[in-house]
């Protein structure tokens, strides 16, 4: 098993610290708003990673944290006149709704930063004893960046190139502008539920120290895999390394994984550009209530979004654009059409087969899902050609390893999607309920039985214009799907 290591900048062999066990920590969400598409890519990418490691037989302990104390959370709470835990609980529930929609399995542990403050204080005390932390005149406790010799080894930046992270306000009280905060002294206007007692006075932890404490408390050091989004490599992960290794020595993690950026029409997704989209905006129904964390989603669109993410390599830059979404929808629909036409059985994967071996070889090469998906397409084409139910069953079973192709085909094909026709939407189709479509089909069948083929053809054409495709199958039955 080879994995690209952001630390060594090459593919390294996975060598677990403990035989057959994997300790994986992934930086999760700061829960002050709904998850966006960049989060979707991170969630799905590392879901595939942990699924495949378990498939190989590893005993995986997957930890993905929740940051529930942060400046952005405090600003949201103040703006909405709510307590911090009300804000964070709501958006954590909303994140879980997004995970369910995208078929993302829950991590084994989902620690919240506010429950690990004591562990953070202990790390800060160890850093202070090692001469790497100091309390400045404004009450903050900071990390001495220039005193940690390996600072910059993950990001590859020299000290001269570095700037304080975007969440860090440079203070005149710091010994060096590069020093980052470990503990923030509270201010009078701060909400009471954002304050903790500590040896350094009343305050709250800095963002970076949170993950150092949570990963150590739950998994120890070194981690087998530490992962996160592309924007976390610097400064967050760089600072995690400095904190954990500066306090306790050794290595924080043996392998560092970062998924690639998600672009929108070739521009980086951002609120300032107006191309910022949440997961629920893309796959949800038009009846989403922003005051409710859970929501109804179009299963066909949710499957499309996961398929869209998985068929690209997790490290590649991925462009979220209408044409790409249409292409993904057409592709995943082909799989379900094949499953619906040829049929399938629930089977175990035959890892001795040539297709499964090719799939495994791709996944063992740094989770190369594009090549693994190519194997599935090859199986689909062959199974369709030869009407091979057993091969179609194996294809579906392998798809399950990636978290796709697990819906019942007929139910899936009847579900709604806005992304099935290039440059168009299916608004007319969504107006037709399943019962209404069945009624039209019954009327068409009666017309055919009465040899009124003109009326039967007219009903077929009307349904097609409304985004409904009919297929006459054996036994005089008619199947339908939304196109």
211 known member of a binding site: yes
Q: How far apart are alpha carbons 399 and 335 in whole angstroms?
A: 10
Q: How far, in Å, CA of 211 to CA of 69, rounded?
A: 12
Using DSSP's 3-state secondary structure scheme, residue 478 falls into strand
Contact (Cβ atoms closer than 8 angstroms) between residue 211 and residue 218 = no
Output the CA–CA distances (angstroms, integers) from residue 46 to 175, 358, 479, in the order listed: 38, 21, 37
438 is in an annotated binding site: no
Strand pairing class (223-228; 203-205): unpaired
Burial of residue 39, with CB atoms counted within 10 A of its CB: 0-12 exposed, 13-18 middle, 19 or more buried:
buried
Q: Is 277 exposed, middle or buried (0-12, 13-18, 19+ CB in 10 A)?
A: middle
- Residue 259 annotated as binding site: no
CA–CA separation, 332 and 402 (whole Å)? 13
Q: Where are the beta strands (DSSP E) in 177-312?
A: 180-185, 203-205, 223-228, 253-258, 262-264, 267-268
The answer on whether 271 is annotated among ligand-binding residues is yes
Q: Is 240 annotated as a binding residue?
A: yes
Task: Quote the CA–CA distance of 419 and 358 in Å, as a whole number.
Answer: 31
Length of the chain: 483
Q: 104 near 283, Cβ under 8 Å?
A: no
C-alpha distances in angstroms, 466 versus 9, 128, 331, 431, 460? Answer: 52, 68, 21, 9, 10
> Residues 252, 222: contact at Cβ < 8 Å?
yes
Distance CA 361, CA 357 (A): 6
Q: How far apart are CA 147 and CA 133, in angstroms?
A: 10
Q: Which two tokens stand for residue 154?
A: 């993950």
Q: How many CB atoms lie within 10 A of CB 370?
A: 13
CA of 213: how far to CAs of 44, 118, 123, 206, in Å? 25, 9, 7, 11
Q: How far is residue 481's CA from residue 463's CA, in Å, rounded to a whole number?
A: 10
Please name which of 208, 239, 214 lies closest in space to residue 144, comparing C-alpha atoms: 239
Question: What does the DSSP 8-state code read for residue 233?
Answer: I
User: In 10 A of CB 256, how many CB atoms?
Assistant: 25
Are 55 and 360 spatial neighbours (Cβ–Cβ below 8 Å)? Answer: no
* Annotated binding-site members: 27, 211, 236, 240, 271
* Annotated binding-site members for ATP: 271
* Annotated binding-site members for Zn(2+): 27, 211, 236, 240
């Amino acid at each position: 098993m080879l994995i690209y290591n952001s630390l060594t900048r090459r593919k390294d062999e996975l060598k677990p610290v403990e035989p057959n066990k994997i300790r994986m920590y992934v930086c999760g969400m700061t829960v002050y708003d709904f998850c966006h598409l960049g989060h979707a890519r991170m969630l799905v990418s590392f879901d595939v990673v942990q699924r495949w490691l378990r498939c190989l037989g590893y005993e995986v302990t997957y930890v993905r944290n929740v940051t529930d104390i942060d400046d952005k959370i405090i600003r949201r709470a103040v703006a909405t006149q709510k307590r911090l835990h009300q804000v964070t609980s709501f958006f954590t529930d909303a994140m879980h709704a997004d995970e369910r929609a995208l078929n993302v399995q829950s991590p084994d542990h989902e620690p919240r930063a506010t429950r690990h403050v004591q562990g953070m204080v202990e790390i800060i005390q160890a850093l202070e004893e090692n001469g790497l932390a100091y309390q400045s005149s404004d009450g903050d406790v900071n990390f001495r960046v220039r005193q940690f010799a390996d600072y910059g080894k993950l990001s590859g930046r020299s000290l001269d190139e570095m700037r304080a992270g975007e969440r860090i306000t440079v203070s005149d009280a710091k010994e060096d502008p590069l020093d980052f905060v470990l503990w923030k002294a509270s201010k009078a206007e701060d909400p009471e539920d954002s304050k903790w007692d500590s040896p350094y006075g009343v305050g709250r932890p800095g963002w970076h120290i949170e993950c150092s404490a949570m990963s150590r408390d739950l998994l120890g050091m070194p981690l087998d895999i530490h992962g996160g989004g592309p924007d976390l490599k610097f400064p967050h992960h760089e600072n995690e390394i400095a904190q954990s290794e500066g306090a306790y020595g050794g290595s924080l993690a043996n392998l560092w994984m970062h998924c690639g950026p998600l672009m929108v029409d070739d521009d980086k997704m951002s609120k300032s550009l107006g191309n910022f989209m949440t997961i629920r905006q893309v796959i949800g129904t038009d009846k989403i209530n922003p005051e409710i964390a859970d929501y109804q989603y179009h299963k066909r669109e949710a499957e499309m979004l996961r398929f869209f993410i998985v068929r690209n390599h997790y490290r590649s830059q991925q462009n979220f654009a209408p044409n790409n979404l249409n292409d993904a929808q057409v592709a995943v629909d082909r799989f379900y059409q094949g499953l619906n036409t040829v049929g399938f059985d629930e089977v175990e994967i035959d890892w001795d087969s040539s297709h499964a071996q090719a799939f495994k070889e791709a996944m063992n090469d740094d989770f190369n899902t594009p090549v693994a998906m190519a194997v599935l397409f090859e199986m689909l084409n062959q199974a369709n050609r030869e009407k091979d139910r057993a091969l179609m069953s194996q294809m579906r079973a392998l798809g399950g390893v990636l978290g796709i192709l697990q819906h019942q085909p007929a139910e899936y094909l009847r579900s709604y999607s806005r992304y099935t026709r290039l440059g168009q939407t299916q608004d007319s189709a969504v107006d037709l309920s399943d019962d209404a479509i069945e009624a039209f089909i019954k009327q068409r069948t009666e017309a055919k039985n009465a040899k009124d083929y003109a009326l039967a053809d007219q009903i077929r054409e009307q349904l097609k214009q409304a985004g409904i495709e009919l297929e006459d199958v054996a036994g005089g039955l008619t199947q339908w799907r939304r196109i």
